Amino acid sequence: MALKPSFVVLTGATASQTGGSNVTFTYIGENKDGAMIFADLTATDFRLRMSLELKVRNFAPDAGKPNGFTQQRQSYVLKIPKLLTNGSVTINTVKGEIAYDPETSAAERVTLIGLGQSIIIDSDLTEFVKNGNPA
Protein backbone atom coordinates (compact mmCIF):
# COMPACT_ATOMS: atom_id res chain seq x y z
CA MET A 1 0.00 0.00 0.00
CA ALA A 2 1.64 3.24 -1.10
CA LEU A 3 0.64 6.52 0.48
CA LYS A 4 0.52 9.77 -1.44
CA PRO A 5 3.37 12.05 -0.42
CA SER A 6 0.77 14.55 0.81
CA PHE A 7 -2.87 15.48 0.56
CA VAL A 8 -5.05 18.45 1.47
CA VAL A 9 -7.92 18.44 3.95
CA LEU A 10 -10.10 21.55 4.32
CA THR A 11 -10.12 23.28 7.67
CA GLY A 12 -12.80 25.76 8.61
CA ALA A 13 -15.08 24.37 5.91
CA THR A 14 -18.76 23.64 6.39
CA ALA A 15 -19.62 20.10 5.35
CA SER A 16 -22.97 19.62 3.67
CA GLN A 17 -24.72 16.81 1.87
CA THR A 18 -26.78 16.96 -1.27
CA GLY A 19 -29.13 14.41 -2.76
CA GLY A 20 -30.08 11.14 -1.10
CA SER A 21 -33.11 10.45 1.02
CA ASN A 22 -33.96 10.78 4.70
CA VAL A 23 -33.76 8.03 7.30
CA THR A 24 -35.49 8.65 10.63
CA PHE A 25 -33.78 7.20 13.69
CA THR A 26 -36.07 6.77 16.69
CA TYR A 27 -34.79 6.52 20.27
CA ILE A 28 -35.33 2.97 21.58
CA GLY A 29 -33.32 2.94 24.83
CA GLU A 30 -29.81 2.51 26.22
CA ASN A 31 -27.35 -0.37 26.15
CA LYS A 32 -25.38 -1.72 29.13
CA ASP A 33 -22.59 0.83 28.50
CA GLY A 34 -24.99 3.77 28.71
CA ALA A 35 -25.01 4.50 24.97
CA MET A 36 -28.27 5.89 23.60
CA ILE A 37 -29.66 3.60 20.91
CA PHE A 38 -31.67 4.84 17.94
CA ALA A 39 -33.10 2.67 15.16
CA ASP A 40 -34.75 2.96 11.76
CA LEU A 41 -38.14 1.53 12.66
CA THR A 42 -39.33 1.52 9.04
CA ALA A 43 -37.50 -1.79 8.46
CA THR A 44 -40.15 -4.46 9.04
CA ASP A 45 -37.57 -7.20 9.68
CA PHE A 46 -35.92 -6.21 12.98
CA ARG A 47 -32.74 -8.08 11.94
CA LEU A 48 -32.27 -5.56 9.12
CA ARG A 49 -32.86 -2.35 11.08
CA MET A 50 -30.12 0.27 10.91
CA SER A 51 -29.16 1.49 14.33
CA LEU A 52 -27.12 4.34 15.73
CA GLU A 53 -25.40 4.28 19.13
CA LEU A 54 -24.40 7.63 20.67
CA LYS A 55 -22.18 7.70 23.75
CA VAL A 56 -20.64 10.43 25.90
CA ARG A 57 -17.83 9.98 28.39
CA ASN A 58 -17.55 13.16 30.44
CA PHE A 59 -14.40 14.71 31.89
CA ALA A 60 -13.23 12.94 35.03
CA PRO A 61 -10.52 13.83 37.55
CA ASP A 62 -7.25 11.98 36.85
CA ALA A 63 -4.07 13.08 38.62
CA GLY A 64 -1.95 11.35 35.95
CA LYS A 65 -3.23 13.56 33.11
CA PRO A 66 -1.53 16.85 32.14
CA ASN A 67 -4.28 19.06 33.55
CA GLY A 68 -5.71 16.60 36.09
CA PHE A 69 -8.68 15.48 33.96
CA THR A 70 -9.41 12.89 31.30
CA GLN A 71 -10.57 14.04 27.89
CA GLN A 72 -14.29 14.16 27.15
CA ARG A 73 -15.31 11.78 24.37
CA GLN A 74 -18.37 11.65 22.17
CA SER A 75 -18.62 8.60 19.95
CA TYR A 76 -21.04 7.04 17.53
CA VAL A 77 -21.47 3.66 15.89
CA LEU A 78 -23.79 3.32 12.90
CA LYS A 79 -24.74 -0.32 12.29
CA ILE A 80 -26.16 -1.29 8.91
CA PRO A 81 -27.31 -4.92 8.65
CA LYS A 82 -26.89 -6.70 5.32
CA LEU A 83 -28.76 -9.83 4.30
CA LEU A 84 -26.31 -12.16 2.56
CA THR A 85 -27.20 -14.48 -0.31
CA ASN A 86 -26.94 -17.51 2.02
CA GLY A 87 -29.61 -16.03 4.33
CA SER A 88 -27.19 -14.93 7.05
CA VAL A 89 -27.06 -11.36 8.32
CA THR A 90 -23.82 -9.43 8.76
CA ILE A 91 -23.41 -5.95 10.23
CA ASN A 92 -21.54 -3.20 8.36
CA THR A 93 -20.46 -0.33 10.63
CA VAL A 94 -19.32 3.27 10.55
CA LYS A 95 -17.64 4.56 13.72
CA GLY A 96 -16.45 7.94 14.84
CA GLU A 97 -15.18 9.64 17.95
CA ILE A 98 -14.11 13.08 19.04
CA ALA A 99 -12.04 13.57 22.19
CA TYR A 100 -10.90 16.86 23.65
CA ASP A 101 -9.38 18.40 26.75
CA PRO A 102 -11.54 20.50 29.12
CA GLU A 103 -9.59 23.62 28.07
CA THR A 104 -10.56 23.18 24.41
CA SER A 105 -12.77 26.11 23.35
CA ALA A 106 -16.06 25.77 21.50
CA ALA A 107 -14.39 27.19 18.36
CA GLU A 108 -11.59 24.61 18.61
CA ARG A 109 -14.19 21.84 18.95
CA VAL A 110 -15.93 23.08 15.78
CA THR A 111 -12.55 22.92 13.99
CA LEU A 112 -12.05 19.33 15.19
CA ILE A 113 -15.50 18.37 13.93
CA GLY A 114 -14.88 20.03 10.55
CA LEU A 115 -11.54 18.26 10.10
CA GLY A 116 -13.13 14.92 10.98
CA GLN A 117 -15.90 15.49 8.45
CA SER A 118 -13.37 16.50 5.80
CA ILE A 119 -11.37 13.33 6.28
CA ILE A 120 -14.45 11.20 5.64
CA ILE A 121 -15.54 13.06 2.48
CA ASP A 122 -12.24 14.41 1.11
CA SER A 123 -11.58 13.29 -2.45
CA ASP A 124 -7.92 12.57 -1.68
CA LEU A 125 -8.98 10.07 0.99
CA THR A 126 -12.05 8.55 -0.69
CA GLU A 127 -10.21 5.41 -1.80
CA PHE A 128 -8.88 4.83 1.69
CA VAL A 129 -12.28 5.29 3.32
CA LYS A 130 -13.94 3.16 0.60
CA ASN A 131 -11.35 0.40 0.11
CA GLY A 132 -8.54 0.87 2.63
CA ASN A 133 -6.27 1.82 -0.27
CA PRO A 134 -4.76 5.31 0.22
CA ALA A 135 -3.76 5.77 -3.44
Nearest to 57 by CA among 71, 76, 36, 78: 71
Both 60 and 113 in one domain: the answer is no
Both 34 and 67 in one domain: the answer is yes
d(CA 45, CA 14): 36
**Residue-number span of the structural domain to which 131 is assigned:** 105-135
Both 95 and 125 in one domain: the answer is no
- Per-residue pLDDT tens digits for 5-31: 566 666 666 666 677 788 899 999 988
* Residue of higher predicted confidence among 39 and 66: 39
Both 37 and 86 in one domain: the answer is yes
Both 96 and 123 in one domain: the answer is no
- Per-residue pLDDT tens digits for 121-130: 777 777 777 7
Both 48 and 94 in one domain: the answer is yes
Q: Does residue 92 fall inside a structural domain?
A: yes
Contacts (Cβ under 8 Å, ≥6 apart) of 62: 68, 69, 70
Percent share of the chain, pLDDT over 70? 84
Both 125 and 92 in one domain: the answer is no
Q: Does residue 86 fall inside a structural domain?
A: yes
Q: Does residue 70 fall inside a structural domain?
A: yes
Q: Does residue 85 fall inside a structural domain?
A: yes
- Per-residue pLDDT tens digits for 46-76: 899 999 999 988 878 888 878 788 888 889 9
Q: Does residue 135 fall inside a structural domain?
A: yes
Beta bridge partners of 78: 52, 94
What pTM does this model have?
Answer: 0.76
